[in-house]
Structure 1
Amino acid sequence: MNFLEGYKLKSLGTLLVVLLVAAAGCDTTSSDGEDNENEQIEVPDTYEFTRNGESTVAYPGQTDRLDMVEEMKAYISTAHQGEVISEQALLDMFENKDGNGGGHFSFTSDRDLKSKTFAPDLDNNLFEGFFADAEAASENGSAGIRAQNGVAGLLEREDSGSDILVDEKGREFTQLVEKGLMGAVFYNQIFNVYLTDERIGPNVENEELREGTNYTDKEHHFDEAYGYFDAPVDFYSDWPDARTDELRFWSKYSNGSDPLLGFNDTIMDAFIRGRTAIVNDNQTELDEQVQVLYENLELLSAATAVHYINSTLQHLNNSNQGEAFHALSEAWAFVNALKYSPQRVISTDQIDQILNSDFGENGNFWNVKSSGLNNAKATLVDLYPDLEPVQDQL
């Protein structure tokens, strides 16, 4: 080998080393959630993701809608003290008239609840019916008419001595509206909108940033699903009592069953891993985490329903009708929420059986019996076997 040939080989070797180093430099890893172009990130400990030092996570519309539901519940609750509530006011809040719920919200927003509600519920005027019935019941309550079988009005909760407003079937309006919207809006949007291929599938934009923002469409859609779960970014199992005021709606109920079923870690891990998969453009991993979310969010609703069925059984055994109807109203809403998942384990016929037979003939709580409640519980435990070992502790 002459000098020129040796020089060429040495130069080629140097070039190969440079190329290898450059290639390796394009596949870096970050543990703090930093998302830069061509960079693969590790799964962070919290739901926090950044690009160029700025957060890529935003879900203000979800926060606004959760605030709206809170204020609707507070408004209906004024009837518990004998106030007459207005059907029109509730419609204005549902539609967010004039951007402030017709003057009933403490804030302004260009979002609303109605347009995000499960379409069949809108077609059936489910919530509009609740609003009209709530006004009529509050008029009875204000006039001193007490609730009884077939008559809406105020019903005393024996443990607290306070009243609740119920319809002619004994169902509590605050639970029908608040928990109803948790299903018809929050779950509906998670299950049927944001976790679908249309929003986070392989063909959704995940390279170019949405104009005027620091996130891609795919990132934002997944964040919006997370926003409806509404957990703190560092939510975890064994959540401290000192921070329970940071929880509401689905994250609150996740925490309630967490000691027995570990929902907090399971659901948060799936959200964090799913979002990381989007950053890393790993559709297979994303699909796996979405499946975890579908299964565990449905299981969460079933577990919470069993919890309230247990509570109802206990109150009926103690002859505390008002407390029983309060708990059963919650159970009604969480069983109803199971219908919103397109991958649900339970059938619509089984949901109908629980709501309109097991919870009292024709869905009338005044007719409820322990045998029916135990049948509903058995149905749920059979369909969701993870509940079997803890069914009596929930």
Structure 2
Amino acid sequence: MLHYNFKLRAILFASVAVFGLVSCSDDDEPTPPAQQDLRAKIDYAKVTPTTPYKSLFIDAKGDTTADLKSGTDRYRMFQALNYYLGSAVRDSATLDAAVMKNMFANTGNPFKDIKSGAVLVNGADLNASGVQLRNVTASSRASAEAEANRAALDGYFGEMAEASKSVKVKAAKGVAGKLGNYLVTARGIEMAQIIQKGLIGALQLDYIGNVLLDKGLEADNKTLVSGKKYTALEHNWDEAFGLLTPNPILLEGANMSEKGAKATEQFLGSYLWEYNREVSSKIHTAFLKGRVAIVNNDKTELKTQATLIRTELEKAVAKAAVGYLDKWKKGTDDPARAHAIGEGLGFIYSLRFCTINGADATFSDAILKGLIDPVASPNGFWDLTNDKINAASDAINAKFKL
């Protein structure tokens, strides 16, 4: 059962240069050489919606300067964790909280090979990658708040493992088990959705938008990282793209159908297309233009593209939250409604990372409390009403001007 204690878990899951003095006069001082550009400038006209991400970024020797591996490794770790969560229903498996925690922190060689549709995981490569999900989750926050969010997720893994013990039981009010095709807790909460949508916000949205494309833009762009072919700023931007998608062209083919989009993208990328479709096609171009701006030392264009990306990713999360609340209202049976609210609650939690729009933990927690406060609504999902759903939707619509 979910407990009311801290933040979301209370509600749901709960370089200085030193110059030597010289004795010559000002007239004798040599004029310092102008800073040489590290790269040859790239014409912005070369950017198109179908330009593969790495194709434009080549150094004088013909080597790529774009390295997406750290971002893509984390994306694959997210896929592997999500795939494991799905095994409870898919395989009627009892899950182990320790396995999920190890995947989250990349400890104990937890990853195994997976080849299933868009989920292509090389376990050994991830185990040896030197990166993890846990230390960048909620990493824009002060250390205590960041750690509280990470610890809460560790707790949700325990909730998921506990619910999986009842995968062969029919769920009902106060009874964990399967509700249709969905595994829920005794309060009717689908923990797999809480974890997945929570990580879309705390991992992808926060690390991409509030770290790499915010303070990360202040990184050095004058010198190469030791032993690498890229600058620190170039790498921050590349890491952001890699964490959003493992594909060279974001949302390639997604204009065909929703099913097609789901097949090519997962997590934040898929919801960007589903809930912010009118501008989703601009995000790949924005990533390319921003990376070209780094090459060109064009800070104004860089900031413009970073802000565009952050704004539209946040809007996708907010629209998804409202969209799933609406799906609860339109649901024709308890399984459909429980699944919708599970996704909705996860996205509402993620609103706390929508800093461009001024949302924070206080905002998202208040909405969550109005929906499933354990005191006012001890039965969680089973106590939801149209009035509660409408109040939550109204609050989000007003905040994000949807």
Pairwise TM-score range, normalised by the shorter structure: 0.7 to 0.9
Once structures 1 and 2 are overlaid, which stretch shifts more, 271-280 or 80-89? 80-89
How far has the Cα of 1:213 moved from its partner?
Answer: 2.5
The number of residues matched between the two structures is 337
- Is 1:350 aligned to 2:363, yes or no? yes
The equivalences for 1:1-394 within 5 A come to 37-43=39-45, 44-45=47-48, 46=51, 47-48=53-54, 49-52=57-60, 53-80=62-89, 81-101=91-111, 107-108=123-124, 109=126, 110=129, 111-118=131-138, 120=145, 122-123=147-148, 125-142=151-168, 144=169, 146-156=170-180, 163-197=181-215, 199-201=216-218, 204-230=219-245, 232-235=247-250, 239-241=255-257, 244=261, 245-259=263-277, 262-315=278-331, 318=332, 320-358=333-371, 361-362=376-377, 364-385=380-401, 387=402
Partner deviation per Cα, 1:93-123 (whole Å, 9 max, x = no partner): 2122233448997512232211222252532
* Rounded Cα–Cα distance in structure 2 between residues aligned with 1:176 and 1:323: 16
How far has the Cα of 1:299 moved from its partner?
Answer: 0.7
| Partner SS for 1:171 | coil
* Rounded Cα–Cα distance in structure 1 between residues aligned with 2:260 and 2:146: 35
Structure 1 runs not aligned, ≥5 long: 1-26, 28-34, 157-162, 388-394
User: Which structure: greater helix fraction?
Assistant: 1
Once structures 1 and 2 are overlaid, which stretch shifts more, 274-283 or 108-117? 108-117
How far has the Cα of 1:359 moved from its partner?
Answer: 5.1
How far has the Cα of 1:246 moved from its partner?
Answer: 2.1
How has the CA–CA distance of structure 1 residues 251 and 288 changed in structure 2, closer, same or farther, with 3 Å as cutoff? same
How far has the Cα of 1:86 moved from its partner?
Answer: 1.0
How has the CA–CA distance of structure 1 residues 39 and 172 changed in structure 2, closer, same or farther, with 3 Å as cutoff? same
Q: Judge conservation of contact 1:231–1:251 (CA < 8 Å) in 2.
A: no
| Partner SS for 1:275 | helix
How has the CA–CA distance of structure 1 residues 342 and 258 changed in structure 2, closer, same or farther, with 3 Å as cutoff? closer
How far has the Cα of 1:38 moved from its partner?
Answer: 4.4
Q: Judge conservation of contact 2:72–2:239 (CA < 8 Å) in 1.
A: no
Cα RMSD over matched residues?
Answer: 2.7
How far has the Cα of 1:187 moved from its partner?
Answer: 1.6
* Rounded Cα–Cα distance in structure 1 between residues aligned with 2:133 and 2:251: 29
* Rounded Cα–Cα distance in structure 2 between residues aligned with 1:133 and 1:121: 20
Partner deviation per Cα, 1:202-239 (whole Å, 9 max, x = no partner): xx321222233221111111111122221644346962
How has the CA–CA distance of structure 1 residues 37 and 133 changed in structure 2, closer, same or farther, with 3 Å as cutoff? closer
* Rounded Cα–Cα distance in structure 1 between residues aligned with 2:204 and 2:111: 19
Q: Judge conservation of contact 1:164–1:172 (CA < 8 Å) in 2.
A: yes
| Partner SS for 2:314 | helix
Partner deviation per Cα, 1:339-377 (whole Å, 9 max, x = no partner): 123333334333122212135645822111111111211
Q: Judge conservation of contact 1:70–1:178 (CA < 8 Å) in 2.
A: no
How far has the Cα of 1:330 moved from its partner?
Answer: 0.8
How has the CA–CA distance of structure 1 residues 273 and 37 changed in structure 2, closer, same or farther, with 3 Å as cutoff? closer
How far has the Cα of 1:189 moved from its partner?
Answer: 1.0
How far has the Cα of 1:55 moved from its partner?
Answer: 2.3
Greater C-alpha Rg? 1
| Partner SS for 2:357 | coil
Question: Could you state the TM-score of these two structures normalised by the residue count of structure 2?
Answer: 0.76
How far has the Cα of 1:243 moved from its partner?
Answer: 5.2
Structure 2 runs not aligned, ≥5 long: 1-35, 115-120
* Rounded Cα–Cα distance in structure 1 between residues aligned with 2:101 and 2:361: 28
* Rounded Cα–Cα distance in structure 1 between residues aligned with 2:363 and 2:223: 45
Percent identical residues: 26
